[in-house]
Chains A and B, each alone.
Chain A
Amino acid sequence: DAGVIQSPRHEVTEMGQEVTLRCKPISGHDYLFWYRQTMMRGLELLIYFNNNVPIDDSGMPEDRFSAKMPNASFSTLKIQPSEPRDSAVYFCASSLGDNEKLFFGSGTQLSVL
């Protein structure tokens, strides 16, 4: 298995633009997580899905953030409009079940100018 695949690896955009981050979890994994990593706040859980259904999105910072999982092999995290304070590394992770270890993707380094 190729592991969790995220794209793009790097994204540089201007304030106000829409940003879409993509994630392909490991096949057979029931859980998918979106995390954001910053120097100030460390690794924060934004949202997670179980069997494609969003379970907890309380970590999503604002209405500008939205996430979808249309099928078991694909998820997106969208920021519209983007702001400089959204600059961070966004990680997607998947797991076989709750309380199982997470497999992380390589992350998307987002810079909003």
Chain B
Amino acid sequence: AQSVSQHNHHVILSEAASLELGCNYSYGGTVNLFWYVQYPGQHLQLLLKYFSGDPLVKGIKGFEAEFIKSKFSFNLRKPSVQWSDTAEYFCAVTGGSYIPTFGRGTSLIVHP
């Protein structure tokens, strides 16, 4: 069975700081990877996804993620965060079951 680990549960940054949220998965076969974001008071929505091809994926609002197969990782990055990026971020993976398994989430707070 697949599983996802997000190591940072809470991250606090100042505006303009760089962001990297860790995501590791366990599954031996082909995977598809997702990052979802949940802004305060809103529902989860897709930030970006990786299915195949270029392992560096660009999403909305300046976010990007890099799939490193050898490390079973799919870390989320943004070079300069804004106050409006305050949200909860979830990494998800689909493996053999094609049904996404989510990590526990990382709460990001950005101070203005």
Contacts and interface: CB of A to CB of B under 8 A. Distances in A.
B32 A99 contact: yes
B32 A104 contact: no
A42 B34 contact: no
B103 A98 contact: no
B43 A104 contact: yes
A45 B98 contact: no
Interface in A82-113: 91, 93, 98-99, 101-102, 104-107
A42 B99 contact: no
Contacts of B103: 42-43
Interface bracket on A: 20 to 34
A98 B98 contact: yes
Interface string B80-107: 0000000000100010011111111100
Given A43-B90, A98-B98, A107 B104 contact: no
B104 A42 contact: yes
B108 to A, nearest CB: 15
B61 to A, nearest CB: 16
A106 B43 contact: yes
B14 interface: no
B70 interface: no
Interface residues of B, number: 20
Interface stretch (B18-26, B44-52, B71-79): B44-52
A98 B99 contact: yes
Contacts of B44: 91, 93, 102, 104
B105 A99 contact: no
Nearest to A35: B102
Given A42-B105, A45-B101, A99 B94 contact: yes
Interface of A: 4, 33, 35, 41-45, 48, 56, 91, 93, 98-99, 101-102, 104-107
Shortest Cβ-Cβ A-B pairs, 5 listed: A42-B104, A98-B98, A43-B102, A104-B44, A104-B43
16 contacts: A4-B43, A35-B102, A42-B90, A42-B104, A43-B102, A43-B103, A56-B97, A56-B99, A93-B44, A98-B97, A99-B32, A101-B34, A102-B36, A102-B46, A104-B44, A106-B43
